[in-house]
Amino acid sequence: MKGLSVIPVEGLPDVGPGDVLADLIATRAFLRDGDVVVVTQKVVSKVEGRLVEVDPGDPLAHKPLVERESVRVLRRRGDLVISETSHGFVCANAGIDLSNVERGWAALLPVDPDRSAHRIRDGLRARAGVEVGVVVSDTFGRAWRRGVTDVAIGCAGVAAIVDLRGSTDAYGRELQVTEVALADEIAAAADLVMGKSSGVPVAVVRGLEPGWLRDGSIRRDVVRPPSEDLFR
């Protein structure tokens, strides 16, 4: 197998409601069939108008929004709320934060991030004539481990989970647990070139297995229903 490239897409302007991300990306990235384009949640929320005005002098002004955007609170500690969003994501502050948004505004998660990814994918096909996968990424904390990583909150044209059950290992024995969260690993790889403060909200991952570029959905394939979840 050949290697993989992770390429930041630089020079994107600040975006706002109604901007078409596919157009802005297509003119700055030299995309090829089989690439996966990773777009951070923040710019998706901005073009989709998921911004809410908050008191710029109050660092906790977004907290009522957190309650509103949560369907279930799992844990509270001080100002921190770990809750489940309407999408089924379990994360801090319902995915709302104030960084990389203009002062006085908070960005909510996209209403349907899989659909957001589809829209960008369709736009890139129309604009650049390429068949690519798209991942919408966000930065989540984890249970049991310090630090945050980027994960996929939406995807289109790329598998969310690669199911290797039934494949054999290097010894010819059937593999046991091998449902790999592909889209999450792609989001993590992309974050390595984005940085948190450098303002690069889009990256391209090139060289993935062609068979992985197929229908996928974070909501359907990755969000673990409470009934099968041991930690909710």
Contact pick of 39, 92, 118, 134 for its own copies (by CB under 8 A)? 92
Cβ neighbors of 210 (< 8 A, separation 6 or more) are 34
**Does the footprint of its own copies cover residue 52 (CB under 8 A)?**
no
Cβ neighbors of 205 (< 8 A, separation 6 or more) are 4, 5, 6, 7, 35, 36, 38, 186, 189, 190
Q: Which is nearer to its own copies, 126 or 198 (CB)?
A: 198
In the complex, what is the shortest distance from the CB of residue 147 to its own copies, in angstroms, rounded to a whole number? Answer: 3
Asked if 72 and 231 touch (Cβ cutoff 8 Å), the reply is: no
**Does the footprint of its own copies cover residue 221 (CB under 8 A)?**
yes
In the complex, what is the shortest distance from the CB of residue 193 to its own copies, in angstroms, rounded to a whole number? Answer: 5
Listed residue (39, 40, 50) closest to 17, CA to CA:
50
Name residues contacting its own copies, limited to 147-176 (CB under 8 A).
Answer: 147-151, 160-161, 164, 167-171, 173, 175-176
- SS3 of 82, please? strand
In the complex, what is the shortest distance from the CB of residue 31 to its own copies, in angstroms, rounded to a whole number? Answer: 14
Asked if 86 and 110 touch (Cβ cutoff 8 Å), the reply is: no
Contact pick of 13, 18, 99, 227 for its own copies (by CB under 8 A)? 99
In the complex, what is the shortest distance from the CB of residue 152 to its own copies, in angstroms, rounded to a whole number? Answer: 9
